Amino acid sequence: MIPFGYQRAENVDGAVATVSRNPNAAFLGGGTNLVDHLKLGVASPELLVDVTGLPLDRIEPLPDGGVRIGAGVRNSDLAADPTIRSRYPVLSQALLSGASGQLRNLATTGGNLLQRTRCGYFQDVSTPCNKRAPGSGCSAVDGYARYHAILGASQQCVAVHPSDMAVAMTALDAVALVQGPDGERRIPLVDFHRLPGDAPQRDTVLAHGELITAVDLPPLPAARRSRYRKVRDRASYAFALVSVAALVDVGGDIGGGTVRDARIALGGIAHKPWRATRAEEVLRGAPATEETFRRAADAELATAQPLPDNAFKVPLARNTLVSVLRDLTRISEKDR
Ligand SMILES: Cc1cc2nc3c(=O)[nH]c(=O)nc-3n(C[C@H](O)[C@H](O)[C@H](O)COP(=O)(O)OP(=O)(O)OC[C@H]3O[C@@H](n4cnc5c(N)ncnc54)[C@H](O)[C@@H]3O)c2cc1C
């Protein structure tokens, strides 16, 4: 590991000023991703500014009925919070499907959003990777790509975003609050992460030195009926092959309901949490039937471009989405 400096941030403005004026400085959250990258040689900051002591560790109600989650809230605390469990179960389920208890005790909301891809080539500094070393090439495009993207990829990068939490937050229309040297801005999570294009080294729209201070969840009463399902190679301690975060609001007669609203995001299939807008369009106003769910899933996956190793992800994503929609609408019928 290359030597680096360490500072504890005393306030938000000071942390932002320190990191933004030093291109080789980075914020440190729980360290569960960044410290691994220091050891692997994937990242080599000269200064770490530890933001875990800042007063960003609260989960608070918002005047509009939504909830504000501080960027320093630990993944375990967020998953166990009674408000999150009852009003946004998809978020609690997503968090509990990720990593392990020990990791979740350390991992923070801000750090989770900014964790980097688990692409094996990105983590192996002996191989070319445009995300780690721009212009060096993508080893995965013609390499082993079982875990890689089927939607929105480019010739430059076929990596996927690994976060479960971010997929749930994307479905929930969450908004990230970000503090930079020029003030605060609010970034809808759906616009927060990027597709790779010609600049796969940039995971998000954040500028260097911008600190995530919180994530706001809108009130969304329909989110009480929401679900996260993650399909992976083993039952724990594994990243998603495919995941689905969904909430569905069905109105009308039992057994013959109409979808009033649907919000869906897919994980494990793209460089960013994938908001399934095409599926949502098919669902809204349509009868809540198996046939509608299949049409919605097909519409979303129509533009999928799998690689030879991961063609299985297309039917896997389709079947997982249909299954989650079926389960959610059964719940709706039972509860009416
Ligand atoms: C073995 C293992 C298995 C895992 N399995 C899963 C899984 O199944 N699902 C899943 O979703 N995740 C999984 N993870 C990843 C884990 O969730 C992340 O490592 C964790 O969420 C990162 O949070 P952190 O606070 O430790 O971030 P750090 O490692 O401290 O930081 C990560 C990045 O965020 C930046 N950063 C941190 N806080 C802020 C902030 N407030 N504002 C701006 N930038 C900030 C840092 O500079 C760094 O670039 C796994 C990790 C490991 C090691």
Residue-wise DSSP of 62-123: -TTS-EEEETT-BHHHHHH-HHHHHH-HHHHHHHHTSS-HHHHHH-BHHHHHTPPP--HHHH
Does the Cβ of 159 fall within 6 Å of ligand 1?
A: no
Pairing of strands 67-70, 242-251: unpaired
Ligand 1 pocket residue status of 211, Cβ below 6 Å: yes
Sign of the CA dihedral running 260, 266, 271, 273: positive
Cα 214 to ligand 1 centroid, rounded to whole Å: 15
CA 291 to chain centre: 29
Check if the beta carbon of residue 207 is closer than 8 Å to that of residue 191: no
Q: Are strands 242-251 and 226-231 parallel, antiparallel or unpaired?
A: antiparallel
Residue 239 CB less than 6 A away from ligand 1: yes
94 lines ligand 1 (CB under 6 A): no
What are the tens digits of pLDDT across the range 43-94? 999 999 999 999 999 999 999 999 999 999 999 999 999 999 999 999 999 9
The CB of 273 under 6 Å from ligand 1? The reply is no
Ligand 1 center–CA 81 separation, angstroms: 20
Asked whether the beta carbons of 157 and 138 are under 8 A apart, the reply is yes
pLDDT in tens, 304-335: 999 999 999 999 999 999 999 999 998 444 44
For atom 31 of ligand 1, the residue with the nearest CA is 111
Cβ–Cβ < 8 Å for 59, 214: no
Tell me the angle at which helices 313-335 and 290-301 cross, rounded to the nearest 10 degrees.
140
Give yes or no for residue 240 CB within 6 A of ligand 1. Answer: no
- Whole-number pLDDT of residue 325: 98
The reply to whether ligand 1 has any atom less than 6 angstroms from the CB of 226 is no
Nearest C-alpha neighbor of 71 from the set 18, 16, 7, 132: 16
* C-beta 164 within 6 A of ligand 1: yes
The closest alpha carbon to 296, from 327, 335, 269, 323, belongs to 323
Our answer on whether the CB atom of 110 is closer than 6 Å to any ligand 1 atom is yes
Full pLDDT tens readout for the chain, 336 residues: 689 999 999 999 999 999 999 999 999 999 999 999 999 999 999 999 999 999 999 999 999 999 999 999 999 999 999 999 999 999 999 999 999 999 999 999 999 999 999 999 999 999 999 999 999 999 999 999 999 999 999 999 999 999 999 999 999 999 999 999 999 999 999 999 999 999 999 999 999 999 999 999 999 999 999 999 999 999 888 999 999 999 999 986 545 699 999 999 999 999 999 999 999 999 999 999 999 999 999 999 999 999 999 999 999 999 999 999 999 998 444 443
- Any residues with CB less than 8 A from the CB of 211 and at least 6 apart, and which? 12, 15, 16, 19, 27, 51, 71, 110, 178, 179, 180
Tokens 């989960």, located at residue: 59
Report how far residue 216's alpha carbon sits from residue 163's, in angstroms, rounded to the nearest whole number: 18
The rounded distance, in Å, linking the Cα atoms of 160 and 151 is 9
Q: What are phi and psi of 106, to 5 degrees?
A: -100, -40
Closest CA to 95 of 115, 66, 119, 117: 115
CA-proximal residue: ligand 1, atom 27 (nearest) = 111
pTM of the model: 0.97
- For residue 45, which atom of ligand 1 is closest to its CA? 47
203 lines ligand 1 (CB under 6 A): no
Cα–Cα distance between 92 and 80 in angstroms, integer? Answer: 7
Contacts of 235 (CB under 8 A, 6+ apart): none
- Ligand 1 site-directed mutation target among 20, 108, 165, most atoms within 8 Å of CB: 108
Q: Check pocket membership of 103 for ligand 1, CB cut-off 6 A.
A: yes
Pocket test for ligand 1, best of 4, 13, 106, 114 (most atoms within 8 A of CB): 114
DSSP letter assigned to residue 171: H
Does any ligand 1 atom lie closer than 6 A to the CB of residue 181?
Answer: no
Paired tokens of 64: 């509009």
